[in-house]
């Protein structure tokens, strides 16, 4: 049964925002079939990520619905296990075994690297994207500032991983700093870990 999109416009915004990102390129390449099949699989993946964040993390969608930011934070073992199993089932069913292998390979490597440089209680900025019609209007910070302010008030740090160097200036303006860079072996792509300490 085909996955039914809950947030089609936002899922497309995320797909477009991340189509050159090494992680997501590897995920798309892992899907069998024609390009249209790969496109639909990535739309489903992005949509699922929004739905997942609403259940297990933080999903910020402004009233104008011009974009979305997706965060995760430490969960208790039971919730983390449930989240992980549901994600694996989704990828296996909607994208296939090759995609599940790609996802697990990249995530396992990246999690091991982040553990070496990031505090255990840190929040993780997973995905951010803006609809094409709203890009270039300075709206990006508004997708993050509320959560960043909340983290400052609680003295909690956060971090992100990016495969796209041109995005780093945007994050630096919001207080993120590069703390490490690695070559992810599955995607053969360089990526950077950026951390923001509470202000």
Residue-wise pLDDT for 187-197, tens only, equals 999 999 999 99
Q: Is residue 1 part of a domain?
A: no
The answer to whether residue 44 is domain-embedded is: yes
Beta carbons within 8 Å of 27's beta carbon, 6+ residues apart: 42, 45, 95, 99, 102, 103
Structural domain includes residue 165: yes
Share of the chain above pLDDT 90, in %: 90
Number of neighbours of residue 92 by Cβ within 10 angstroms: 14
Q: What are the pLDDT digits (tens) for 92-146? A: 999 999 999 999 999 999 999 999 999 999 999 999 999 888 888 889 999 999 9
Report the number of distinct structural domains present in the chain.
1
Q: Please indicate, yes or no, if residue 29 is contained in any of the structural domains.
A: yes
Question: For position 129, which CATH number holds?
Answer: 3.40.630.30
Is 83's pLDDT higher than 80?
Answer: yes
Q: How confident is the model at residue 63 (pLDDT cuts 50, 70, 90)?
A: confident
Residue 171 lies in a domain: yes
Q: For residue range 150-180, what is the model confidence (pLDDT) as tens digits?
A: 999 999 999 999 999 999 999 999 999 999 9
Asked whether the CA dihedral 92, 93, 94, 98 is positive or negative, the reply is positive
Q: What is d(CA 44, CA 91) in angstroms, rounded to the nearest whole number?
A: 9
Mean pLDDT of 20-47: 96
In a domain, 3, yes or no: no
61 domain-assigned = yes
pLDDT for position 180: 98
The rounded distance, in Å, linking the Cα atoms of 19 and 92 is 21
Would 2 be classed as within a structural domain?
Answer: no
Residue 96: which domain range?
Answer: 8-196
pLDDT the model gives residue 1? 62
């Amino acid at each position: 049964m085909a996955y039914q999109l809950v947030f089609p416009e936002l899922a497309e915004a995320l797909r477009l925002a991340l189509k050159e990102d090494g992680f997501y390129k590897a995920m798309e390449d892992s899907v069998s079939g024609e390009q249209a099949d790969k496109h639909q699989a990535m739309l489903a993946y992005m949509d699922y990520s929004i739905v997942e964040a609403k259940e297990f993390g933080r999903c910020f969608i402004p009233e104008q619905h011009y974009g979305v930011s997706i965060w995760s934070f430490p969960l208790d073992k039971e919730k983390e296990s449930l989240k992980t199993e549901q994600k694996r089932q989704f990828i296996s069913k909607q994208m296939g075994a090759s995609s599940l292998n790609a996802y697990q390979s990249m995530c396992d490597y990246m999690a091991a690297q982040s553990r070496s440089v990031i505090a255990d209680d840190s929040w993780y900025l997973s995905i951010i994207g803006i609809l094409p019609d709203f890009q270039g209007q300075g709206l990006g910070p508004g997708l993050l500032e509320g959560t960043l302010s909340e983290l400052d008030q609680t003295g909690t740090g956060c971090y992100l991983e990016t495969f796209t160097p041109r995005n780093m200036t945007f994050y630096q303006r919001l207080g993120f700093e590069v703390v490490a860079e690695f070559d992810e072996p599955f995607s053969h792509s360089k990526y950077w870990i950026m951390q923001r300490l509470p202000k």
